[in-house]
Structures are given as C-alpha cells and as structure tokens.
C-alpha cells in the first residue's frame, strides 16, 4: 500500500466554473503514475469555492452552470446577515455548501479513471478570489 499527500495551489481565477484537470495531473504526475489500483481524494480548504466533476469539452456547460447557480443563489437577499466581505459573500458560502469541497476519483493503471467527458472543476464563487489550496491524498497499490 502506498499513501501520498500533497497540497496543490491553484492561482486565483475569475468567478465561474474552471477545468483544473491539467493543474491536478501536473502536480501529481509522479504520484498517480505509480498506482495500479487506488483513489485520489481532493479536498478544497475554502468555504467560498467548490469542487465538482463535469463536462470537460464544451465551455458552454460551465457558463450555464455559473448562470444557474447565480439564479438559484442570487446576491442581495434581504435576509442575508453575513455580508462582511461584499454582496457575493453569503452566496459563495451557500454555493460551496451545495456543491461540496471534496472529490474522490479512482486511479487505474497509473491514470485517473474518469469518464470520457468528465473533468475536474474548481468552482470560484467570489468576484475576487485568492489562491486556492487543494489537499490531494492518494491511497493505492503500487504498480
């Protein structure tokens, strides 16, 4: 059994849904390719962004997801009391809670075992983000 853990730093991104497959695979290339059967757990250490799996080809899907979440979790609700950091403050926390901050992805023969059209999303819910930290934990049987 092999266990590895690494923190991945994602540079600030504009508000929206962003594919981060490349950044994840690049940061973990030395760890993933050594695993025959295992799992990768990604944990985002923030409460105003989220992680998800989604369509990895058509950017319109990510744009539509952003529009949908902005519609169902709109800003400036009169009942929001947590608005210390601006009008996107509470909506970003709600979106993060709905979508979630962790993913578990199988590893098979040294590769992430994602579906053909699946990609890893970092969903930035703030208008002005900061560097985002993702703790990646790999557990598996070495090749």
What pLDDT is recorded for position 2?
97
- When pLDDT is averaged across residues 109-126 and rounded to a whole number, the result is 98
Structure confidence by residue, pLDDT tens digits, 40-58:
999 999 999 999 999 999 9
Q: b/e map of 18-32 (b: 16 or more CB within 10 Å)?
A: bbbeebbeebbeebb
Task: Name the maximum alpha-carbon separation found in the chain.
Answer: 56
More confident residue, 28 or 84: 28
Structure confidence by residue, pLDDT tens digits, 58-88:
999 999 999 999 999 999 899 999 988 999 9
Question: Measuring CA to CA, how many Å separate 49 from each of 16, 23, 32, 57?
Answer: 10, 17, 25, 21
What confidence category does residue 22 fall into, taking pLDDT thresholds of 50, 70 and 90?
very high
CB 123 within 8 A of CB 47: no
Handedness of CA 104, 110, 115, 119 (dihedral sign): positive
What is the set of domains in the chain, with CATH numbers? Answer: 2-142 (2.60.120.460)
- Average pLDDT value for the chain: 97
**H/E segment holding residue 25:** helix 21-32
State the pTM of this model.
0.96
């Amino acid at each position: 059994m092999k266990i590895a853990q690494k923190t991945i730093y994602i540079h600030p991104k504009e508000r929206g849904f962003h594919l981060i497959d490349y950044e994840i695979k690049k940061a973990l290339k030395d760890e993933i390719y050594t695993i025959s059967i295992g799992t990768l757990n990604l944990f985002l250490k923030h409460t105003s962004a989220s992680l998800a799996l989604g369509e990895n080809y058509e950017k319109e899907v990510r744009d539509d997801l952003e529009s949908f979440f902005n519609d169902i979790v709109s800003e400036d609700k009169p009942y929001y009391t947590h608005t210390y950091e601006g009008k996107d403050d509470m909506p970003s926390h709600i979106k993060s809670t709905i979508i979630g901050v962790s993913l578990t992805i199988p590893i098979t023969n040294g590769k992430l075992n994602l579906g053909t059209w699946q990609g890893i999303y970092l969903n930035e819910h703030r208008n002005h983000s900061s560097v985002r930290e993702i703790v990646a934990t790999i557990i598996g049987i070495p090749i």
